[in-house]
Structure 1
């Protein structure tokens, strides 16, 4: 049974998350004390209930948004934002109406709520309006004091929460970039494995098939030669299995001399004359693996498709070429998995894959520019 992968942007708060948010509710202690001292007056009861509900609602909003880290960067649906705004705003109005100026402590939390719920183009005018309201009410309402400290607190808290939100935006972008890189790395590994398996099995199975056909024809005419071909089949199949295991494990090594030896065996089994270089000394070390893949892919295509009588491998410090005198592909060359893989390997080393129709025959070359 498959289980869904955990979302890195969605995680529980942990035991300290709600406590951290609740600490900031201490600024509502004054409204609670004022309401408690006015009991059992109806307005005091109403102010007490409004303050408790305001604190619980604000804490619930913070936990709801913070539970998913992405939610502080991606605003909730419009209806949800409006519901939170209207609910907290209404409770703040009740606190001010029943408790007086001490109820304006809720304005700081309202400003923070606007910053958490809305983009800058919306929360900026709202925060400025709250700040102006605090200053104006302190002047026009009889008995109220001019509270510049509260106005400063509204602005400071808004800036602080906006900074936290911006930081979380960047963190979320990093998390998403990391997830994307992980997906690309996995896709690249799958492509590497598919490419290597094609190159390994395509070559090996082609040689095994040809040797099996040859052994079948020689079984009655030349039993000793047939047994030799069958022994080669066993060796080749074991080598192919070992290569597949190494490819899966990601550390398969390819050598140019080894590929030339395999090419000679494959061409002889297909009864194609092999003209191969006697030395690979002039090939630079950093190009040996690329040229080995070139020899493998080129010889495999010659054996499979060309109908050739002769195949020649040419090596130079900046070039590896496999050419034959066969018919070559009909029409434009088809870039299958093997040629595509070879082209990708060549590109990583600043080389290019070149295919050329000869008269007669076909040429496949990798040229370093």
Structure 2
């Protein structure tokens, strides 16, 4: 997932991705309609004082256009039904400022206070700092205009305009922060789902890969016994092992799906010995795991399982040895290593990718390759001593 760019006050607001909350819809409808009541004031002014008919018509039309644009902007922002391009956003804000300035030209500089609607739209549709600067610039213009026209600055209107501008700027910042939090929450949920899927895929690969390989080897051994020597008792014993392994694998799959499965290094050593023996590969395995720290026994158990499975399935080896240290494990065979790493697991395939992910969680790493100069293949996992200290 692409890294999200940190937003600043000069960043263009993103179009909301998801549907709004119920509270957001209600707030949008209320704010886009209730505040239109104050636009009745310019119409009242133009009819209460002597003005030409053309001026009255101009004010009524201007207020109507102003209200329509403001409603469209606010409803689109709150209900997220319409997506505006940057050009449309700029054009809408410019049109609203033109309407507000027209009212001030006809009725006087005091009416620059009605540019609050345009400033609100700018704060929603343009970078927030642009809206803030427009608000402060409008306040300055109001003070200068009233000073020139009336001989004294209108501090009351200016203070109202400043307070509303700063309040709307703060509200816009809160809305942006909440949107970023919702986006981060959704991303975390998506990553959690992806991580769980990866865990299940990794665990099922480890469980079924080893178990099915051992079952196949033992079933093949039973068949060869029956075909060659007819030793029914030995063949039956191998088939009993197949049955036991099948039941064990089924239980492990259920535990994996529920997320309760924990691998045991000691148990994996026993299983590795049985599987290698069934595959007629001589095994040189440790007899104890006491020297391995508890926090490394589970990841090393998965390394052992994957390494032994690959030896049985791909190496054509006659001998396999496993060595354990306090912070490392090594599986070595005398088979024929692949010329290139393949996707079947004997190399840098899915199995070793999963092991790398497991070891990375404890600060370790996995390496795999030809065992020079003796030949064969070696898989080694190690964790820096500083991590286990």
Change over 3 Å in CA distance of 1:328–1:114 after alignment to 2: closer
Change over 3 Å in CA distance of 1:105–1:361 after alignment to 2: closer
Is it true that 1:343 corresponds to 2:367 in the alignment? no
Partner residue of 1:293 out of 302, 306, 312: 302
| 1:135 CA displacement | 2.6
Change over 3 Å in CA distance of 1:15–1:335 after alignment to 2: same
Partner residue of 1:116 out of 124, 127, 130: 124
| 1:296 CA displacement | 0.8
Q: 1:135-159, CA deviations, whole angstroms, 9 ceiling, x for partnerless residues? A: 3332444x78742222232233222
In the alignment, the residues of structure 2 paired with residue 39 and residue 277 of structure 1 have an alpha-carbon distance, to the nearest angstrom, of: 105
Counterparts in 2 of 1:244-255, with a 5 A limit? 244-255=253-264
- Larger mean Cα displacement after TM superposition, 144-153 or 285-294: 144-153
- Larger mean Cα displacement after TM superposition, 265-274 or 151-160: 151-160
Partner residue of 2:176 out of 169, 178, 189: 169
Aligned length: 359
Partner residue of 2:142 out of 134, 139, 154: 134
Partner residue of 1:54?
66
Partner residue of 2:218?
211
In the alignment, the residues of structure 1 paired with residue 132 and residue 287 of structure 2 have an alpha-carbon distance, to the nearest angstrom, of: 78
Is it true that 1:315 corresponds to 2:324 in the alignment? yes
Change over 3 Å in CA distance of 1:291–1:97 after alignment to 2: closer
In the alignment, the residues of structure 1 paired with residue 134 and residue 27 of structure 2 have an alpha-carbon distance, to the nearest angstrom, of: 31
In the alignment, the residues of structure 1 paired with residue 235 and residue 363 of structure 2 have an alpha-carbon distance, to the nearest angstrom, of: 45
Q: Extract unaligned runs of 5+ from structure 2.
A: 1-15, 385-389
SS of 2:290's partner is coil
Partner residue of 1:3?
none
In the alignment, the residues of structure 2 paired with residue 361 and residue 114 of structure 1 have an alpha-carbon distance, to the nearest angstrom, of: 70
Partner residue of 2:265 out of 243, 249, 256: 256
Please tell me whether the aligned partners of residues 28 and 105 of structure 1 are also in contact (alpha carbons under 8 angstroms). Answer: no
Please tell me whether the aligned partners of residues 307 and 331 of structure 2 are also in contact (alpha carbons under 8 angstroms). Answer: yes
Normalising by structure 1, we get a TM-score of: 0.83
Please tell me whether the aligned partners of residues 90 and 126 of structure 2 are also in contact (alpha carbons under 8 angstroms). Answer: no
Q: 1:157-179, CA deviations, whole angstroms, 9 ceiling, x for partnerless residues? A: 22222222222222222222222
Change over 3 Å in CA distance of 1:130–1:105 after alignment to 2: closer
**RMSD over aligned Cα atoms:** 3.3
Counterparts in 2 of 1:178-193, with a 5 A limit? 178-193=185-200
| 1:49 CA displacement | 5.2
Partner residue of 2:379?
364
Please tell me whether the aligned partners of residues 137 and 144 of structure 1 are also in contact (alpha carbons under 8 angstroms). Answer: no
Please tell me whether the aligned partners of residues 203 and 296 of structure 1 are also in contact (alpha carbons under 8 angstroms). Answer: yes
| 1:323 CA displacement | 2.4
Please tell me whether the aligned partners of residues 303 and 381 of structure 2 are also in contact (alpha carbons under 8 angstroms). Answer: yes
Normalising by structure 2, we get a TM-score of: 0.79
Change over 3 Å in CA distance of 1:120–1:256 after alignment to 2: closer
